Structure 1
Amino acid sequence: MTEFKIEINHTPEKKQKPAFDNLVFGKNFTDHMFEMDYTAGRGWHDPRIVPYQPLSLDPAAMIFHYGQSVFEGLKAYLTHDNEVLLFRPEKNMERLNKSNSRLCIPEVDEELALYALKELISVDRDWIPNVEGTSLYIRPFVISTEPYLGVAASNKYKFIIILSPVGAYYKEGINPVKIAVQNEYVRAVKGGTGTAKTGGNYAASLKAQELASLTGYSQVLWLDGKENKYIEEVGSMNIFFKINGEVLTPELNGSILEGITRNSVVELLKYWNVPVSERRISIEEVYQAHADGQLEEAFGTGTAAVISPIGEFFWDNKKIEINNGITGELSKKIYDTLTGIQKGTAPDPFGWSVKVEKKEAAGVQ
């Protein structure tokens, strides 16, 4: 493995930690963050861990005007043996660079990024919560920083990683959520930025989410942007259906984000010899399966919630109730297996878990 030098500047005053048994998702942040700069002609430079602090940017910084940014999300887990585990972090760094490519952002060295992430976790290791259902959420992101109002790719960027101790993403936890099918707005289209993890995709989803919340639904089910017929994602998650014993998930079609949890679920189902298919699925097909009594389960998958069972869809003024509104057997098995691997309490036949070695505090690594 390549040796990297990262300057570490420890904070002179540590924050008071929140109660780990009462964490709200994404509200608390650790003592330090990782930061690295990009300058055209020089490349990525000055990797460093510094005290968590506000950023100082020119008002003309291109991120504010043209939205050139990408991000990732993954978690660190504390095991019963007090070890720290990451879940497939190399896939996050690989996807970060796919997003970078789509947004015309220079790729980062994936090995350096993963090394920096581990170093940052080591520095703020005591922020990893030890309460059941909690974890340390990791948010790597890249923003364009050149002060320029011309429409072009920036010549300057920042790559930053911040950490946040978190509880459950949905207050419902592993209990089923209610979903409204969105017929007016779309999340993304083929050829757009749907396959990239970029902030604009999420900003564009807020209106539909707001409308769903007003009617008592937790999230929206997105249909394709061309025919408004085929299922794509649910909220900010990939989606799965169990119909007549077979598990179905929308195929990656150029507008759907390739989820790491999605990929893990597909591999896990194949390992269990559960029939699983990636193909186009229409909302009419799902409704018909429900009418025929064959729609057995539905669930979303993503880093934040891992598995989020779905108990009801609302589509075309019709309610589609699934499994009497309770968590399905397969959904629960997948959740228990994935979280068990992530926490080190279940066998990991795939080698997905990556251990973060404990290190002594240091000035320069």
Structure 2
Amino acid sequence: MKLPLPHQLLERKIRSDFDKNIRGKFFRGLEFAEPEGDPGWFGPGSAVWHVHSHTPALIFGLQCAAFIERFDPSIFWMGSDHSRVVEHDDDGNPTGRLDLKGSGIRLAHSVAFFIGTAYGSTATAERVAETVRAMHHTIKGVRPDGLPYDADDPEWLRWNYATVVWGIATGHELYHPTPLRNIDRYYGEFVRVGHALGGTDLPSTKAETLDCLRSYLPRLALTHGAAMFTGPNLQNNPDVPQEAKFFDWAIRDSMPDWAAQMLGYQPPHPVERAARRAATWAALNGTHLAMDPLPEFQQACRRVADGTMVDHTEPSYVLGSDPIRSRETVEYMV
């Protein structure tokens, strides 16, 4: 009997882990194969289909987005008070420690959203967007300094959108083996996702997005909690898995200049930087090769193989039109 080679075992493990931890739990009820001819929100040949088809680069970009997003103290406290990423005690109070299981669930929800909106049928894209909006509607509270926060605040929605589209696009530009020659195609297409989540006055090019992010600088700060999950603090944290520590440098290296300055980050010598980026490129693309194209992407390709027979639609959300749901109901939705 011929035994599998080590790289084949690794490939099987990566695919198995994705199936077990993400697809099996968080893709339930999402439709990618039907209805025939439905392009969804984007369709074949779109920049979004190309960018999101590289799952490891997509996940890396989401981590970049989460990193810069937390520079807004309100975002940090929203995550601390409401997110699964932070451990909570028996009374529901955040302990400040990382919840590894909760972090995995949070990441899986994000992956399901960005795969569902990219490759799902129109109904699937609308469904996952409604679910995320429903969660946002429940995130309201007060920071320790007495300032209120609200995830439906248009200013927060714009900041959140800008961090996400910048993170995904930057991860693509740095580490995709065949990056788009015109990245503004992606920025221009992806804006419809921001509109579907209730965003208004959103940037639609790379330059506009960078300007948008920088415009928030007067209200940004590095909280103690956010500082504990970067650089030497993260590297010395026993709760953080090794793979997160490996990618921490690459995430900080991706930051705009002003964000790197907030962290006191200085790029290393160009030769060392090139070597580190090469190692990150190899890790992300090696994982991508091991995973093969996602079945959801392949199903979407077959769905429109004979052309798009259903009219392309824009997200249909009208501000304020969602029903009021309890947090318990929303948790059941996801």
**Which one has more relative contact order, counting CA pairs under 8 Å at least 6 apart?**
2
When normalised by structure 1's length, the TM-score is 0.23
When normalised by structure 2's length, the TM-score is 0.24
Higher-helix-fraction structure: 2
Higher-strand-fraction structure: 1
